[in-house]
Amino acid sequence: MARRLDGKTIVVGLSGGIACYKGAELVRLLVRAGATVRVMMSKGAQHFVTPLTLQTLSGHPVSTDTFNLTQESGIGHIQLADTADAIVIAPATANIIGKIAAGIADDLLTTVLLAARAPVLIAPSMNVNMYENPIVQANLQRLRDAGFHIIDPGEGFLACGWEGKGRLAEPDVILAEIERAVTPQDLRGERVLVTAGPNREPIDPVRFISNRSTGKMGFALAAAAWRRGADVRLIAGPTMLPTPHGVVRHDVTTAAEMHAAVLAECDAATIVLMAAAVADYRPVQTAPQKLKKGSGRLTLEMDRTVDILADVAPRKGARLIVGFAAETQQLIANAERKLIEKDLDLIVANDVAAAATGFEVDTNAVTIIDRSGHHESVPLMSKDEVADRILDRVVALKQQRSSLPRAATKARSA
């Protein structure tokens, strides 16, 4: 299956700080994501981790010196800049941040950056007092103004003994930022609302009714939308999945809580992706204490939960709404009926009875259906890839609408 950084060349620069050990982990993650990784190191960085370590992890020679006859036989610093799809400096010390901001090119890293045309990401790492120094902050702002991507450091205990902001961002966070930097920003300016996961409808303080949804498809959609430039709000039912980087998450439990959260966020959204497996029924009464086992049968009286999509439809306006149909039979017929009944723009249908496309797996195969009756079959692939295929259709539909005459657009959204 395809990986997000397949075919991309990422240049990783390490400057001299204790967080260089995280730079080694970043290189490993980039290689695993499919990237060709070229590493360059300052002299200071080589005191913390050896070039051999980075060469072993990247599978390529490490560049260390602008004046090395072997490394520069083909003007290596220009080749590094020209072949990069993105360049990341991690860790970036106060010293190298200052030099980049001043346009100084007195070593390999700074020379490559001056020649770069690819996106450049800077991940600061330093003592909290150094980070908060007004000169450092002014340098970072100057880089932002010049188009550099600044990856904010984390907070916590620092190697110097101080506690505060200045820790190098975690490698998975830096990886996510790199993926966004090399992804077309075709959702920039959009506010995307995603629902994901199951609901739990309580029977008593101990037991509940739920389903097998893990939220993986919805979380993949939220992550993909953020990578493509969107401002993303994720409303998640009970799940152990970590929040995708850059996404604002709201946790809910019951269908009623999800309904309230969706209505609170819906008006600000331009795209709504309703991927949650919302509970259809709930117990009419919730016992205040744990129900004890008796000698006979237990009968639960159930009531319909609120229909979230039915309440979203009257608020539709110009926003685009995508529904999901998880079916075990009559997949297309059931999906097409839901598409019309709920006044959706697209519906994504998948057979959850199949082993590779159901719940609790990392793969999916879906059929995307629009209001014209067009069916797009997406074959078995990772849920991350499926998410991008769904968003491709969303972007195409948005572009199609934007090209319509204004009167036609108003009529369509009425």
DSSP 141-194: HHHHHTTPEE-PPEEEE-TTS-EEEEEPPPHHHHHHHHHHHTS--TTTT-EEEE
Q: Let me know whether 172 and 200 are in one domain.
A: no
Q: Let me know whether 198 and 165 are in one domain.
A: no
Residue 230 maps to a domain = yes
Beta strand 120-124 with 149-150 is parallel
Q: Let me know whether 252 and 120 are in one domain.
A: no
Q: Let me know whether 235 and 369 are in one domain.
A: yes
Residue 252 maps to a domain = yes
The CA-to-CA distance between both ends of the chain, in Å, stands at: 41
Residue 123 maps to a domain = yes
Q: Which domain holds residue 335?
A: 191-287+298-413
Which pLDDT score is estimated for 70?
A: 57
Q: Let me know whether 144 and 235 are in one domain.
A: no
Which one-letter DSSP state was computed for residue 47? Answer: G
Which pLDDT score is estimated for 78?
A: 79
Write down the catalytic residue from 138, 160, 408, 411. Answer: 160
Residue 4 maps to a domain = no
Pairwise CA distance, residues 327 & 351, whole Å: 5
Which pLDDT score is estimated for 403?
A: 80
Tokens of 241: 């999945």
Q: Let me know whether 223 and 265 are in one domain.
A: yes
CATH code for the domain of 203: 3.40.50.10300
Residue 102 maps to a domain = yes
Q: Let me know whether 48 and 174 are in one domain.
A: yes
Q: Let me know whether 338 and 244 are in one domain.
A: yes
- 143 phi/psi in degrees, rounded to 5: -70, -40
Which pLDDT score is estimated for 414?
A: 45
What is the three-class DSSP state of 88? Answer: strand
Residue 2 maps to a domain = no
Tokens of 33: 């994501």
Name the residue among 346, 349, 344 with its Cα closest to residue 332. 349
| Boundary (domain end) residue, out of 150, 181, 212 | 181
Q: Let me know whether 328 and 366 are in one domain.
A: yes
Pairwise CA distance, residues 29 & 179, whole Å: 12
pLDDT in tens, the chain (414 residues): 788 999 999 999 999 999 999 999 999 999 999 999 999 999 999 999 999 999 999 999 999 987 664 555 554 567 888 999 999 999 999 999 999 999 999 999 999 999 999 999 999 999 999 999 999 999 999 999 999 999 999 887 777 776 778 899 999 999 999 999 999 999 999 999 999 999 999 999 999 999 999 999 999 999 999 999 999 999 999 999 999 999 999 999 999 999 999 999 999 999 999 999 999 999 999 999 999 988 889 899 999 999 999 899 888 888 999 999 999 999 999 999 999 999 999 999 999 988 899 888 999 999 999 999 899 999 999 999 999 999 999 999 999 988 876 545 444 444
CATH code for the domain of 17: 3.40.50.1950
Q: Let me know whether 65 and 148 are in one domain.
A: yes
Q: Let me know whether 45 and 175 are in one domain.
A: yes
What pTM did the predictor assign? Answer: 0.92
| Boundary (domain end) residue, out of 160, 181, 202 | 181
- What's the domain count of the chain? 2
Task: Judge whether 360 and 241 are in contact, CB under 8 Å.
Answer: no
Task: Judge whether 357 and 351 are in contact, CB under 8 Å.
Answer: yes
Instruction: Sort residue 259 into left (φ over 0), alpha (ψ -120 to 50) or beta.
Output: alpha
Residue 3 maps to a domain = no
Angle at which helix 171-181 crosses helix 216-227, to 10 degrees, equals 60
| Boundary (domain end) residue, out of 146, 181, 216 | 181
Residue 137 maps to a domain = yes
Task: Judge whether 244 and 234 are in contact, CB under 8 Å.
Answer: yes
Pairwise CA distance, residues 395 & 184, whole Å: 11
Establish whether 266 is a catalytic residue: no
Q: Let me know whether 159 and 304 are in one domain.
A: no
